[in-house]
Structure 1
Amino acid sequence: MRRTIELAVFAITILMVSMIADAACGQSAPQASSERPNIIWLMAEDMAPDLECYGTAGVHTPNLNKMASEGALFTKTYCANPICSPNRSSMMVGVHQTVINAHHHRSNRDIPLAAPFKPITSWLRDTGYTCILGNSLVMNSGRKIDCNFKHTAVGPYDGVTKFGLFDKQTDFSPADQPFFNQIQLVVTHRGDWWNDVRAKSKHPVSLNDIELPPYFADTPEIRYDWAAYLDQVEYMDNEVGLLMQNLKEQGLDQNTVVVFIADNGRCNLRGKGYLHDTGIHVPMIVWAPGYVKPGTVVDDLVCTTDISATILKLAGATIPDYITAKPFLGVDQPQYRSYVRSARDIWDEIDECSRSITTKQFSYIKNHMPEVPWATDQAYLELNRPALHVMRRLKKQDKLTEAEMTFFREQKPAEELYDLEKDPDQLENLANNPEYASVLDEMRAKETDWLSSNPDLGLDDLGNRHPEQGLAAETARAGVKANEPELWERLEKGELLPTSQWMKKYRPKKKPATVAPAPVSNDRVKKKG
């Protein structure tokens, strides 16, 4: 039976229009229109490829399935960063966040982008596109931006000092053509609405139908949290259907390219914030009449930054020399990657520095701060991940299996190497296995190759980071424990609770992280990886 989430009344507007489109494949595609297409970029939040069309158990996503059957489904899309604001920054500019000084989460928001970098909306405006943020049919009107450089959402943009990223916040219409519309799909982000969405679902995801990864303890609390997450995915899928219907009703469906992508992986253990696959591997589905052969499946490597070069190419806009993104649509030969380089730096209270190289078969992670455990305290994670509390309790009782203990090691290894074909859950670290010594050397060489042509300001500022960005989540956790004992007891039992008010009340107050901008010469920014 197909599921349908009942789109009921919320304090926030909760109907989401979602779309998917853009695809480049090495196969013959229908003839594209000579007119410049409208472009819709749908950004789901905190979601791994947990869709029915990717084979995820227990979830039903008929609208996204339809998009994939009419467009292209990308199986190997990886983020430049596993956290929202750094990765969104890289996607909006087309350059990795470690190059543009946007690598720490929610930092440098009082500093404009250093020359020559500009957000892609600047280049689209120069080409005559109307740049629109959000849509009234989606939760919170889909207007989140979350970029780590000085900007305002809407207003003039002169490419130097004024950073209005979009022309207006409104719904798209035929009068706006050609338009670029970025819409945020927030429902899959951890939020106080999760229980409400599940409660109002006509067919909530069954706890018996889901499949937990082997590094999760199999308990009713963890199964409930996982099912509630998939309920949000199904809710979003219904919103995708609404957008498609709205696009067709306005007669815009034949000359609009829609890209559906997530900003980073799912918010759970080893997901968002971590360089394992569930943190950086995201879904991307492209719906583009005239540009892509329906039913295409692309197994080549794509970086999420590549969406920017693709959008500029489709629009006929200038693709500046500094852009390291590679267009995968609108070109005769899509420029897929031999590897994707990703980076993780400061995330709220967690000071961290890790780098990764992902190929089709292998994942290599270099942990520059192995002394910082994966399970390091953080207010946001403490209050929003039931599995963390449940598995901490089981750990104290010595009831976790070896696989389930993976996230709770006291220290990270300096290097990690995984065979994604044989070990998709990344449980067997091959870095010290002599049989894989040559593979390890190859992956190290790829990291060296990347650094030879691209600055990494996150490596440059190691040892010179702000103390208030250190491991200080205990303040927020202690505040809840001391003042809200009943709440904390429920959290420790693994209950999924609306916690945003408590985060705001007890989270440590700190100024946004700021790192002095470093000028970047174009000769160091090459198109690698």
Structure 2
Amino acid sequence: MQSNMNRRGFLRLSAGAAALASFSWTASHAGASKRPNVVVIVSDDHGRGDLGCYGNPVVQTPHLDALAAEGVRFTNAFCTTASCSASRSVILSGLYNHYNGQYGHEHSYHHFRSFDHVRSLPVLLTQAGYRTARIGKYHVAPEEVYRFDVALPGGSRSPVRMADNCKAFVASGDAKPFFLYFCMSDPHRGGGKAADLPHEPDRFGNRDQGYPGVKEVTYDPEEIVVPDYLPDIPECRAELAQYYQSVSRVDQGVGRLIEVLKQAGQYDNTIVIYISDNGIAFAGAKTTLYEPGMNLPCIVRTPWQKNKGIACDALVNYADLTPTILDFAGATPGDYEFHGRSFQPVLERRHADGWDTTYASHTFHEITMYYPMRVVRERRFKLIWNIAHGLEYPFASDLLESATWQGNLKRGNTRYGRRTIDAYLHRPRFELYDLQNDPHEVVNLADDPDHQARLNEMKARLKAFQEQTKDPWILKWEYE
């Protein structure tokens, strides 16, 4: 849900409007002989600043850079919740997770699950005549809600092999268009500590024997770009070097998948979307709704794009993905409501009027990490409502144990990047930031008398968002 929300409410489409959406696709892309295939590629914990096409001078992502050169790169794309399962539920439903029920992790004892009434993207596309397949990380439940026609085999840390395992599905002689949901576990933390390296960084999935078809790209910690929200200490540089290596593996998987599409003769009729589920797995990004946690890479390549290689500044979020893909497919249902809206109309624009506000809603990561936050973000100002502000900010287990966080503590540092450790752990009820003058979100204006009118206006917008998306946590305005 974006700007003009008080006028629009939910995206409401009658059967006639749905028919119009289908007609619009046909008219706009009359050169296409059939409905487009759609491939959605989701990486795990990949930050926006860690691709060449987004300005990183060190990390090697030539395939993603080439994809961006063929399409559009969004500079203001946001997840709505910086947690794996919860974010993926939004991607596949077009609904904020406070409404779809996937409040946090699906796996193990966390056991969060979406409500049965949710009609997900793969189910809607199947009903519209698409073949649907998923491969790699799934991480949502129940399967009846997020049902694909087929689950393809392939370890989610081996992206080139994953791409090869998609060949038969992509090259099928079936006349139906297809939807492929391709989800890697890189560059998520994992694989243990690299005890043979200085500072014993997390491996980020890297291993000595490598992965089939992948030419591992390694990085010198001294050459790493340390973002301002992280501490520039040797432990952090060592971990970022491992993270970069994992990002380059992601890139090679994307390159191989595009090659598979081309070899099958499908690339010229396929929409490719690349996103990350949330920010990088470091304190200050993942699990937070500060900019590094929610402002993410989003690259969209369509076969009919004329204005190629552009950067679009529209504020889009992951609740918009399902409506956009259904719009591409001419498959928008006439009897169902989404929280997002299609961003297909802005794909040829560098600047998009009417896309000036976005929202976020985070409640859990792990089951032990209850810390609900709601956010309204405009182009310049951002308001975070920390509903559980009386609690110390909770840590994901892997972030707490990370060499970066522990190394910073052992050094006796009182700051973590631009923010003090105390400010990171103990947050006020409201955080209001001027992103133009304070892009690092460290000067809280919520108690500034000169900004009270703006604070009250943004609080009102946040309440309206909660009302219109049926957020149960709206009660907290009165009770806490």
TM value normalised by structure 2: 0.79
Q: Does 2:67 match 1:67?
A: yes
Aligned equivalent of 1:369: 388
Distance 1:335 1:190, change over 3 A: farther
Aligned equivalent of 1:173: 171
Structure 1: how far apart are the matches of 2:417 and 2:271? 46
1:196 corresponds, among 203, 206, 230, to 206
Q: Does 2:137 match 1:118?
A: no
Structure 1: how far apart are the matches of 2:426 and 2:112? 35
Distance 1:292 1:368, change over 3 A: farther
Structure 1: how far apart are the matches of 2:288 and 2:255? 31
Shift of 1:412: 0.7
Count of equivalent residues: 412
Structure 2: how far apart are the matches of 1:308 and 1:228? 33
Distance 1:421 1:292, change over 3 A: farther
Aligned equivalent of 1:415: 430
Shift of 1:199: 8.8
Instruction: Deviation per CA, 1:124-170: give whole Å up to 9, x if none.
Output: 11111000112xxxxxxx2x2112x422xxxxxxxxxx446111123
Instruction: Deviation per CA, 1:317-367: give whole Å up to 9, x if none.
Output: 133431121111268998963321111212221121111111122221011
2:409 corresponds, among 377, 392, 415, to 392
Aligned equivalent of 2:9: none
Partner SS, residue 437 of structure 1: helix
Q: Which amino acid aligns with 1:46?
A: D
Q: Is the 8 A contact 1:269 1:407 kept in 2?
A: no
Q: Is the 8 A contact 1:257 1:288 kept in 2?
A: yes
Shift of 1:377: 4.6
Distance 1:93 1:407, change over 3 A: farther
Q: Is the 8 A contact 1:197 1:235 kept in 2?
A: no
1:222 corresponds, among 226, 236, 247, to 236
Shift of 1:227: 1.8
Structure 1: how far apart are the matches of 2:293 and 2:95? 19
Shift of 1:276: 0.4
Aligned equivalent of 1:403: 418
Q: Does 2:364 match 1:346?
A: yes
- Provide the aligned C-alpha RMSD in A: 2.9
Q: Is the 8 A contact 1:30 1:291 kept in 2?
A: no
Q: Is the 8 A contact 1:197 1:232 kept in 2?
A: no
Shift of 1:250: 1.0
Q: Does 2:400 match 1:382?
A: yes
Aligned equivalent of 1:520: none
Q: Is the 8 A contact 2:76 2:314 kept in 1?
A: yes
TM value normalised by structure 1: 0.72
Distance 1:463 1:65, change over 3 A: same
Shift of 1:453: 1.4
Gaps of 5+ in 2: 1-27, 153-165, 192-202
| 1:204-219 mapped onto 2 (5 Å cutoff) | 204-219=218-233
Q: Is the 8 A contact 2:187 2:205 kept in 1?
A: no
Aligned equivalent of 2:293: 279
| 1:432-443 mapped onto 2 (5 Å cutoff) | 432-443=447-458
Distance 1:212 1:398, change over 3 A: closer
Structure 1: how far apart are the matches of 2:346 and 2:231? 46
Q: Which amino acid aligns with 2:404?
A: A
Structure 2: how far apart are the matches of 1:448 and 1:51? 36
Instruction: Deviation per CA, 1:95-127: give whole Å up to 9, x if none.
Output: 111112222333895866243x31111111111
Query: What is the percentage of aligned positions where both structures have the same residue?
Result: 26
Aligned equivalent of 2:196: none
Gaps of 5+ in 1: 1-28, 135-141, 152-161, 465-529
Distance 1:31 1:294, change over 3 A: farther
Distance 1:265 1:399, change over 3 A: closer
Q: Does 2:335 match 1:318?
A: no
Distance 1:56 1:440, change over 3 A: farther
Structure 1: how far apart are the matches of 2:270 and 2:51? 23
